[in-house]
A and B are shown apart, each in its own frame.
Chain A
Amino acid sequence: RKEVEQDPGPFNVPEGATVAFNCTYSNSASQSFFWYRQDCRKEPKLLMSVYSSGNEDGRFTAQLNRASQYISLLIRDSKLSDSATYLCVVNGPGGSYIPTFGRGTSLIVHP
Chain B
Amino acid sequence: GAGVSQSPRYKVAKRGQDVALRCDPISGHVSLFWYQQALGQGPEFLTYFQNEAQLDKSGLPSDRFFAERPEGSVSTLKIQRTQQEDSAVYLCASSSPGMRGQETQYFGPGTRLLVL
Min CB–CB distance A53 → chain B (angstroms)? 15
Main secondary structure of the interface of B (DSSP, over half): loop
Partner of B105, one of A8, A46, A100, A103: A46
Q: Which of B13-21, B69-77, B107-115 contacts the other chain?
A: B107-115
Contact A103 B42 (CB under 8 A): yes
Min CB–CB distance B99 → chain A (angstroms)? 8
Q: A97-B31, A104-B42 are in contact. Are A46 and B104 (CB under 8 A)?
A: yes
Interface string of A11-54 (1 = CB under 8 A from B): 00000000000000000000110000000001111100100000
Contact B42 A95 (CB under 8 A): no
Contact A44 B43 (CB under 8 A): yes
Contact A43 B108 (CB under 8 A): yes
Min CB–CB distance B45 → chain A (angstroms)? 6
Q: A43-B91, A45-B107, A98-B48 are in contact. Are A31 and B42 (CB under 8 A)?
A: no
Partner of A101, one of B44, B58, B99, B101: B44
Number of interface residues of B (CB under 8 A): 25
Partner of A97, one of B43, B56, B91: B56
Contact A98 B56 (CB under 8 A): yes
9 contacts between A and B (CB under 8 A): A46-B105, A95-B99, A97-B31, A97-B55, A97-B101, A99-B105, A101-B45, A103-B42, A104-B41
Question: Bound complex: CA of A74 vs CA of B47, how far in Å?
Answer: 32
Question: Bound complex: CA of A99 vs CA of B33, how far in Å?
Answer: 10
Residues 76 to 92 of chain B near chain A (Cβ within 8 Å) = 91
